[in-house]
Amino acid sequence: MLWLTDSFEAIRDFMSLGGPVLRVIALIIFVMWALIIERMLYFRSEMRLMAKGILESWESRPERRSWNAQQIREQMISQFDAATSKGIAMIQTLVALCPLLGLLGTVTGMISVFQVMAVSGSGNVRAMAAGVSQATVPTMAGMVGALSGVLFVTILTRRAAHEVAYLEDSLTTDH
């Protein structure tokens, strides 16, 4: 149990080291990862059921060549595409937001350094170090969040496109 307390203290110290912008970055990264995990779980469960239902519905149609049947096919594919792509644009936005917030943290940290230099001159190294850490920690956190998000948003985007293409190929017009 002691390791848990030590972990919380280390996280608390890290969060205070980066200033208020780091808290916003942590919240953005948490939301981004919650959406990534939701999409991964969706691909493993609900998406397969939806694809199976669409295939069964299409195969049970008596005719599949008419203009009406083709429009129904396009609607099914479009609904499936919308369902598989849901949330991915939000994840991409959060990924793009991470480095921008890191840059904001850099600016606010450097403002703190300049304020210390204006008040006490360049001789107070300890006070300047706090501002420098407040400038660098959010930048690092924003970049780490963005890099991890870029990898998974690419995986999710490719998987969604692959599943839509597979469903489109599976809905044959023979009959």
Average the pLDDT over 75-82 and give the result. 96
Q: Would you say residue 133 lies in a domain?
A: yes
Q: How many CA atoms lie within 13 A of 16 on its CB side?
A: 6
Q: Would you say residue 175 lies in a domain?
A: no
Q: Would you say residue 125 lies in a domain?
A: yes
Query: 46-59 and 20-44 are packed helices; what angle lies between their axes, rounded to 10 degrees?
Result: 40
pLDDT of residue 134: 79
Output the average pLDDT for the chain: 89
Q: Is pLDDT of 46 > 70?
A: yes
Q: Would you say residue 16 lies in a domain?
A: yes
What is the total count of domains within the chain?
Answer: 1
Confidence grade of residue 113 (pLDDT, cut at 50, 70, 90): confident
- Asked if 111 and 173 touch (Cβ cutoff 8 Å), the reply is no
Give the domain range for residue 43. 2-170
Q: Is pLDDT of 153 > 60?
A: yes
Q: Is pLDDT of 114 > 60?
A: yes
pLDDT of residue 12: 83
